[in-house]
Chains A and B, each alone.
Chain A
Amino acid sequence: AQSVAQPEDQVNVAEGNPLTVKCTYSVSGNPYLFWYVQYPNRGLQFLLKYITGDNLVKGSYGFEAEFNKSQTSFHLKKPSALVSDSALYFCAVRHPGGKLIFGQGTELSVKP
């Protein structure tokens, strides 16, 4: 069965420092992986996806993620965090039927 895990409920980073939000996945077949961000009382905003091609995927707002097949990971990264990056981040994997399976979410807090 398709699943994703986000091992950290919360990540704290100082502004200007690099950030990493972790995601590991379990799939049968080739994975379609996604990252979304959610601000309070809002829907989810698409950041980036991996379907095929380069393992390093670049997305919106300076975020990127690296697909690592051997470690079954798809960690989200940004070289220099902003206070405005503080939000809830979700990793997701596509189920063969088309629906997305979401991780439990990671709360990112960036302090000035």
Chain B
Amino acid sequence: GAVVSQHPSRVICKSGTSVKIECRSLDFQATTMFWYRQFPKQSLMLMATSNEGSKATYEQGVEKDKFLINHASLTLSTLTVTSAHPEDSSFYICSARHEGGAEVETQYFGPGTRLLVL
């Protein structure tokens, strides 16, 4: 299967600071990437759809000014958590949608980023 990386895998920051998480599709190009948040033992909650070259589409209830998404190239999307607070602590997972051949429509997921805000 295709490979998606995420960096960093874990980050601890102070309340009020900003944190940037990178998501890269390593062996395919992705016009569309997705950002999810997951709480322990729960399902994934979609935060936003990241579109290369255009603005992200945010799900209802997700603050676009707090969770900044940039999809600057066909292999890189970034999520910046601005002015992070303890309630933003969570497991953030990205995915990239494959758009070619037999793998069309398949989303491949990164390994996740554990964010802890103190």
A residues neighboring B (CB under 8 Å): 32, 34, 36, 41-46, 49, 51, 60, 88, 90, 94, 97-100, 102-105, 107
A34 touching B106, Cβ below 8 Å: yes
Among A34, A97, A99, find the residue whose CB has the most chain B CB atoms closer than 10 A. A99
Question: Does the CB pair A90–B43 fall under 8 Å?
Answer: yes
Q: A43-B6, A98-B49, A103-B43 are in contact. Are A49 and B105 (CB under 8 A)?
A: yes
B105 close to A43 (CB less than 8 A): no
A104: chain B residues at CB < 8 Å are 42-43
Binds A, one of B11-19, B67-75, B107-115: B107-115
CB A39 to nearest CB in B, in angstroms, measures 10
How many B residues touch the partner, as a band? 20 to 34
Against A, the Cβ 8 Å flags (1 = close, 0 = not) of B85-118 are 0000001010101000000111111111010000
Please give the residue numbers on chain B whose beta carbons come within 8 Å of chain A beta carbons, in ascending order. 1, 4, 6, 32, 34, 41-44, 46, 49, 91, 93, 95, 97, 104-112, 114
Task: Please pick, from B95, B106, B111, the residue contacting A42 in the complex, using a CB distance under 8 A.
Answer: B111
Contact, CB under 8 Å: A98 / B109: no
